[in-house]
Structure 1
Amino acid sequence: MTLPSGADLYPVVEATWSPVRAFRVGPWMIRDGQGGGSRVSAATAVDAVSLADLAVAEAAMEDLGQQSLFMIRDCDDALDEMLEAQGYAVKDPVALYAVDVARLTDEPLPPVSAMPAWPPLAIMAEIWKSGGIGPERLAVMERVNCPKTGLLGRIQDQPAASAFVACDGKVAMIHALEVVPALRRLGVARNMMRAAAIWAQNHGATTLALAVTRSNVSANALYSSLGMTVVGYYHYRIK
């Protein structure tokens, strides 16, 4: 099958990891993230922008109590250059991965190694909290308005991981995959990815995708080992 491109995945990222609201201001899409992280707070260019338009976006984000932050997608080279010239620094270069779900559903999971749970169980929230995924990001999960679930991973008869997965049309995205540090390198994350693919397939998705910072060497190695393909990139520019 043909995997979606990075451009195809940008709206899926937003549908499956949603801001409180997104609204047009001039040539910009402004997002109200309320502490939920860069993905739900960054502005993007909808139309061609000029240096004069920059102050409009900055003022809109200031009105929300947010830092001036822009998402730079594969199509935003001119904006990237403009922001660099204005002293904006690169933040968190991200790779977008995708895979045919059939590649991850071709063998059964070990019994009770990963299971869907929504609303999230208390232990899942604890695992997320230990990894820096607090109530603001849990609120992001709550407001996602498409098929979704949490995943609880287990190994050695104990809770080992939490993740969130949501389905937008034929693409499911996994977010907030967090494995308990003491239980890493035991195959937990691999089981969680397979569980996400099984859930996605059961909800009509043909592709499983995710976004990960390019500096996360171990995560990128895992996703590549599972046969996932990098289909796009983005990064942020922060003032």
Structure 2
Amino acid sequence: MSPEAGFAALAATWPAAATRDLGPVRLRIGAGGGARVSAATLEGPFDQDDIAAAEAAMRGEGRAPLFMVRTGEAALDATLDARGYAVKDPTVILAARLAALDAIPAQAHWPPGAAQRALWAEGGIGAARIAVMERAGGPKAVLHHPGGCAFVARHGEIAMLHALEVTPAARRRGTGRALMAMAAGWAHEQDCAWLALAVTRANAPARALYAKLGYEETAAYHYRSAPA
């Protein structure tokens, strides 16, 4: 799976409330849904004036400038570093071919029920992030298992998993593995070729689990936040 395909699936299955292009910079309104749906991205060649215009636009909306820097964007990264931007949340996109994954029939439905909303809320995934899920177009589902749930959506041949949450009491009991196998089962039903997800580099336990299941890094990104 190419980095470009991974980023396209990430944007389509976890969409911003609104976007607009200002020169080569795509600005996003996240409506409280987190950095992934709020960060600006580079969509073409740029210069310092383009960055300054994007900064002014974001400050004009009452928020600090925030950019997502993706695989292959070393020039943008260096430019933002020189302007004093700090690195935030280095993240990897992992993917595996469905043919290589264990899959089980998915306990899936849409929209999320009260039990899933409550479980997500305990993990800090509130109404604004559920609104992100609601905005996602195309096939999508909530996966549920005793003590855990997740959101999965399709973009082209890629199924992207988001918001996997397991209660503390259900951890180390196979709940995460079961949800991953359900995600693979759902992706098979949708005729996908890949199952992918994003995870922070700091989340070592999750990355270890995904590596054991056969997922490999296909792309990476981090955020750059402006100085106060």
Normalized against structure 2, the TM-score is what? 0.96
Give 1:117 deviation, angstroms.
2.0
2:200 maps to amino acid: T
Task: Name 2:5's counterpart in structure 1.
Answer: 8
1:210 maps to amino acid: L
Task: Name 2:27's counterpart in structure 1.
Answer: 30
Q: Once the two structures are aligned, what percentage of the paired residues are identical?
A: 46
- Does residue 144 (structure 1) correspond to residue 144 (structure 2)? The answer is no
- Does residue 119 (structure 1) correspond to residue 111 (structure 2)? The answer is yes
CA contact 1:32–1:64 (8 Å) conserved in 2: no
Quote the Cα distance in structure 1 between the aligned partners of 2:78 and 2:205: 30
Quote the Cα distance in structure 1 between the aligned partners of 2:144 and 2:61: 34
1:205 maps to amino acid: C
Structure 1 counterpart of 2:152, from 165, 175, 200: 165
- Show CA shifts across 1:205-224 (max 9, x none): 11000000000000000100
Structure 1 counterpart of 2:50, from 50, 53, 56: 53
CA contact 1:41–1:66 (8 Å) conserved in 2: no
SS in structure 2 opposite 1:150? strand
Quote the Cα distance in structure 2 between the aligned partners of 1:63 and 1:191: 45
SS in structure 2 opposite 1:146? coil
Structure 2 counterpart of 1:234, from 216, 221, 225: 221
Quote the Cα distance in structure 2 between the aligned partners of 1:184 and 1:103: 24
Quote the Cα distance in structure 2 between the aligned partners of 1:60 and 1:138: 27
Give 1:104 deviation, angstroms.
2.2
Task: Name 1:157's counterpart in structure 2.
Answer: none
Quote the Cα distance in structure 1 between the aligned partners of 2:141 and 2:181: 14
Quote the Cα distance in structure 1 between the aligned partners of 2:63 and 2:165: 26
Give 1:103 deviation, angstroms.
2.1
1:211 maps to amino acid: A
SS in structure 2 opposite 1:225? helix
Give 1:67 deviation, angstroms.
2.3
- Does residue 131 (structure 1) correspond to residue 118 (structure 2)? The answer is no
Structure 2 unaligned residues grouped into runs of 5+: none
Structure 2 counterpart of 1:177, from 161, 164, 179: 164
Task: Name 2:68's counterpart in structure 1.
Answer: 71
2:113 maps to amino acid: L
Give 1:58 deviation, angstroms.
1.1
Quote the Cα distance in structure 2 between the aligned partners of 1:61 and 1:149: 33
2:74 maps to amino acid: D
- Does residue 192 (structure 1) correspond to residue 182 (structure 2)? The answer is no
Quote the Cα distance in structure 1 between the aligned partners of 2:88 and 2:168: 25
Structure 1 unaligned residues grouped into runs of 5+: 155-159
Task: Name 1:93's counterpart in structure 2.
Answer: 90
2:108 maps to amino acid: P
Give 1:43 deviation, angstroms.
0.4
- Does residue 203 (structure 1) correspond to residue 195 (structure 2)? The answer is no
Give 1:22 deviation, angstroms.
1.4
Quote the Cα distance in structure 1 between the aligned partners of 2:219 and 2:109: 30
- Show CA shifts across 1:143-201 (max 9, x none): 101110011111xxxxx011100000110000000100111011100000010010011
Structure 2 counterpart of 1:17, from 14, 18, 30: 14
Give 1:138 deviation, angstroms.
0.4
CA contact 1:22–1:31 (8 Å) conserved in 2: yes
Normalized against structure 1, the TM-score is what? 0.91
Quote the Cα distance in structure 1 between the aligned partners of 2:175 and 2:83: 43
Q: CA RMSD in A?
A: 1.2
Task: Name 2:38's counterpart in structure 1.
Answer: 41
Quote the Cα distance in structure 1 between the aligned partners of 2:118 and 2:99: 31
Quote the Cα distance in structure 1 between the aligned partners of 2:207 and 2:64: 28
Quote the Cα distance in structure 2 between the aligned partners of 1:217 and 1:228: 14
Quote the Cα distance in structure 1 between the aligned partners of 2:149 and 2:53: 39
